[in-house]
Amino acid sequence: MTLQPFGTLRGFGVTFKHIFKKPITQQYPEYKRPVYPRFRGRHRLHRHANGLEKCVGCSLCAAACPADCIRVVAAENTADNRVSPGERYARIYEINLSRCIFCGYCELACPFDAITLGNEFELSEYSRDDLIYTKDMLLAEPIKRVPIQDPDLYDTPIPAYKRLS
Amino acid sequence: MSAVLAATGANGEPWWIALIKSAIVINVVLLGFAYLTLLERKVMGRMQLRYGPNRAGPYGLLQPIADLVKLIRKESFFPAAANDMLYIGAPFLAAFTALTTFSVIPWGPGWEIAGYQVNGYIADLPIALLLIFAVGSIGIYGFIVGGWASDSKFALLGSMRTCAQLVSYEVSLALSVLGVVLMAGSLSLVDIVAAQDADVWYLIPQFVGFLVFLLAGTAETSRAPFDLPEAEQELVAGYHTEYGGMRFGLFTMSEYVNLITLSGLAVTLFLGGWHGPWLPGPVWFLLKVFVLLFVFIWMRTTLPRLRYDQLMRFGWKVLLPVATVNAVVTALLVVAL
């Protein structure tokens, strides 16, 4: 152990040296750290290739949600208004993002791969009502603001489990 | 009319020049306080491998203004059980005494402008050093009264601790400058600065006194590592727990202005005041004060906080004997040589 006060003076030397080192802070928003492909961000509802929505309004996601923030009201698919390939579709589908904890249980519970968690986390709004995302908002393609890490490197190689988006 | 304009005060300068100078110096000190808060945050940040505030303006230069606007816009709440006059008066007392102690510090040689004498200080008394310690002790009242008048247990305990600490280190502070006074032969700060120009900077013969002055001064202004009065983990916020908005701002201001005054005093007593080769006096003064402020910020970043009993023990059992011995040895040497 260095004798006092030389130990204290060595401490002063350490802090003084640090002034001339480059800070390790990453300046957001000038630099946005890339997110990983399986990052749990804002939810997305998906469609089939032919344009029909995958969601059939079964509410398994609402049942699985620990924060109880998903609201699903189903309606029958009629002949002239066919929205999903099943018997029913989700007429009302709302997620309250101020209550959501982004755990991903809804994604795990969905049997049709209709809902997944995407990569956006910049979800600030000016009022709480604006944070209740409706079905059209969730169906819409999100605006990519943050770069994503290399999917080949960080996503699973098993094609069945690969990230949908 | 010209007789009124030419009427000089005790220090040989017209009264209206003294008024204008006071206004300018107060504004410079307050501006210095504002940007000292920014300097401290930036320097502490850099020492901790991070940037300080750099969002409010270019390089964070508008951060103090943002803080000021925030404090002014905040609610200055008033606890129902608080003692009215004392609760309001305490921050003012602290701020007023902090600014008053700066008035006797000389920052320039004095100039002759357009026939009128402009002194390099606001006031010069034959007992200037005594004034600084006396008014500083009244400033401690601001903290005691603030904590007591808040009628809150945290505030009361915090203010009691603060005052015990400040009073303990006050003694060592006064004793440490005794050596300088003996060598200069005067209590007036202007004379001490002049004596240093004739002699050598008192830092060299009085290095023990300088060290004691720095340590006691750090404790006097409640700076780390002696900043127990504002240790959030221990006392919530000590004596300024029940203060909000601009009242809290006044307490913070008094603390930082005390720091600036102490640095100015150290420069005047030990580092040769405003003397220096080819730059004008005030510029040298500012540079030296800046170096000392940097040392204070450096100490805050590096050292952990002292526990209360360690603090009191250090003040009474270490610093006071050292200061006393320094004074006695200086007295003997001054008489002998």
Name the phi and psi angles at B253, rounded to 5: -60, -45
| Amino acid at the residue A161 | Y
Q: Smallest Cα–Cα separation from B315: which of B229, B249, B240, B226?
A: B226
Q: How far apart are CA B7 and CA B13, in angstroms?
A: 8
Q: What is the pLDDT of residue B228?
A: 76
Q: Count CB neighbours of B179 within 10 A.
A: 28
Specify the pairing of strand A132-133 against strand B116-118. Answer: unpaired
Q: What is the pLDDT of residue B10?
A: 66
> Which CATH code of 3.40.47.10, 3.40.190.10, 3.10.150.10, 3.30.70.3270 fits the domain covering A36-138?
3.30.70.3270
Q: Smallest Cα–Cα separation from B251: which of B290, B293, B222?
A: B222
Rounded mean pLDDT of chain B?
Answer: 88
Average pLDDT over residues B100-108: 91
B251 falls in which pLDDT band (50, 70, 90)?
A: confident
B298 falls in which pLDDT band (50, 70, 90)?
A: very high
Cβ A15–B43 below 8 Å, yes or no? Answer: no
User: Does the structure show a pLDDT above 60 at B235?
Assistant: no
Average pLDDT over residues B40-62: 92
Q: Comparing B42-56, B74-88, B127-141, B269-283, which segment has the lowest mean pLDDT?
A: B74-88
Q: What is the pLDDT of residue B323?
A: 94
Q: What is the pLDDT of residue A150?
A: 80
Find chain B residues with C-beta within 8 A of A14's C-beta.
302
Q: How many residues in chain A?
A: 165
- Assess A17–B contact: CB distance below 8 Å, yes or no: no
Reduced to 3 states (helix: H, G, I; strand: E, B; else coil), residue B107 is coil
Find chain A residues with C-beta within 8 A of B301's C-beta.
15
Average pLDDT over residues B235-244: 69
Average pLDDT over residues A61-87: 90
Per the omega criterion (within 30 degrees of 0), is the bond before B225 cis?
yes
Per the omega criterion (within 30 degrees of 0), is the bond before B109 cis?
no
> What would the DSSP string read from start to end of A115-126?
EEE-S------S
> Domain spans of chain B?
76-336
- Assess B157–A contact: CB distance below 8 Å, yes or no: no
**Hey, of A4, A9, A19, which one would you mutate to test binding to chain B, going by the most B CBs within 10 A of its CB?**
A19
Average pLDDT over residues B281-286: 91
| Distance from the B281 Cα atom to the nearest Cα atom in chain A, whole angstroms | 29
User: Does the structure show a pLDDT above 70 at B236?
Assistant: no
Of A8, A18, A27, the CB nearest to B48: A18
Q: How far apart are CA B251 and CA B90, in angstroms?
A: 9
B233 falls in which pLDDT band (50, 70, 90)?
A: low
> Domain spans of chain A?
36-138
- Assess B77–A contact: CB distance below 8 Å, yes or no: no
Q: Quote the DSSP letter at residue B318.
A: I
- Assess A124–B contact: CB distance below 8 Å, yes or no: no
B14 strand-pairing partners: B8
Cβ atoms of B274 and B281 closer than 8 Å: yes
B199 falls in which pLDDT band (50, 70, 90)?
A: confident
Give this prediction's pTM.
0.87
Q: Which long-range contacts (CB under 8 A, 24 or more apart) does B183-187 make?
A: B183/B330, B183/B334, B186/B126, B187/B126, B187/B127, B187/B128, B187/B129, B187/B130
- Assess B51–A contact: CB distance below 8 Å, yes or no: yes
- Assess A26–B contact: CB distance below 8 Å, yes or no: no
Q: How far apart are CA A8 and CA A14, in angstroms?
A: 10
Interface confidence (ipTM) of the complex: 0.79
Q: Comparing B35-49, B170-184, B228-242, B243-257, which segment has the lowest mean pLDDT?
A: B228-242
Per the omega criterion (within 30 degrees of 0), is the bond before A29 cis?
yes
User: Does the structure show a pLDDT above 90 at A152?
Assistant: no
Could you tell me the two tokens for A74?
């189903």
Q: What is the pLDDT of residue B156?
A: 83
H-helix or E-strand spanning residue B111: strand B111-113
